[in-house]
Amino acid sequence: MKVCVFLSAADLDERYVRPAREFAEMLGKGGHTLVWGGSDTGLMKVVADGVRETGGRLAGVSVEFLRSWAREDAEEMAFAKDLAERKALLLAGSDAVVVMAGGLGTLDELTEILELRKHGLHTKPVVLLNAAGFYDGLILQLRRMEEEGFLPRSVDDLVFTTDQGAAALTYIEETTTLREEV
């Protein structure tokens, strides 16, 4: 399975690094491919290292203006002309999406993926890996949007939220298997 992970390229506190590393190691041990932004810095590097060290594959999609940050030993590395093309390539090249702690770019990626899912433009499972309660405020806002009629589908139908990497991986493996059987 090819799992797209949206996350920060910044160096972060251990409360975000540890769960990211644990999830990456489970992904690699499962023989899965990490599809990610391609950077060899910060949390992106942590996850890529964890997948690589435990037997998984790396498929990066970077952008031209970040070429110097790209990981050199990925099995696949593409360079998009801009961030919009990068998001489209990341989604197209994956079977599931996991969102970890990140900044504005990660928030942009998450909201676009949810908007596309809301409109039925993709049916891939989406997981919000809410390490250290990082996304608690966003989850509260999404619930409010649902309750006040701004979302035509329930939040739970759009995204599975957990703070446990094992639960995230189980969800995407089971959901992807169900999609393949249909």
Question: Mean pLDDT lowest for which of 89-93, 145-149, 151-155?
Answer: 151-155
Cα(17)–Cα(65) distance, integer angstroms: 26
Ramachandran category for residue 158: left, alpha or beta (phi over 0 → left; psi -120 to 50 → alpha): alpha
* CA–CA separation, 133 and 162 (whole Å): 10
Tell me the pLDDT tens digit for each residue of 97-141.
Answer: 999 999 999 999 999 999 999 999 999 999 999 999 999 999 999
What single letter denotes the amino acid at residue 181? E
| Band of pLDDT at residue 54, cut at 50, 70 and 90 | very high
Q: What is the model's pLDDT at position 176?
A: 85
Mean pLDDT within 32-56:
97
Q: Indicate the average pLDDT of the chain.
A: 95
At 181, is the pLDDT very low, low, confident or very high (cuts 50, 70, 90)? low
* pLDDT score of 147: 97
pTM: 0.94
Pairing of strands 33-36, 2-6: parallel
Closest C-alpha to 100, from 14, 23, 25, 179? 23
64 CB-contact burial (10 Å; exposed 0-12 / middle 13-18 / buried 19+) = exposed
In DSSP terms, which residues pair with 160 in a beta bridge? 127
Burial of 43 (0-12, 13-18, 19+ CB in 10 A): buried
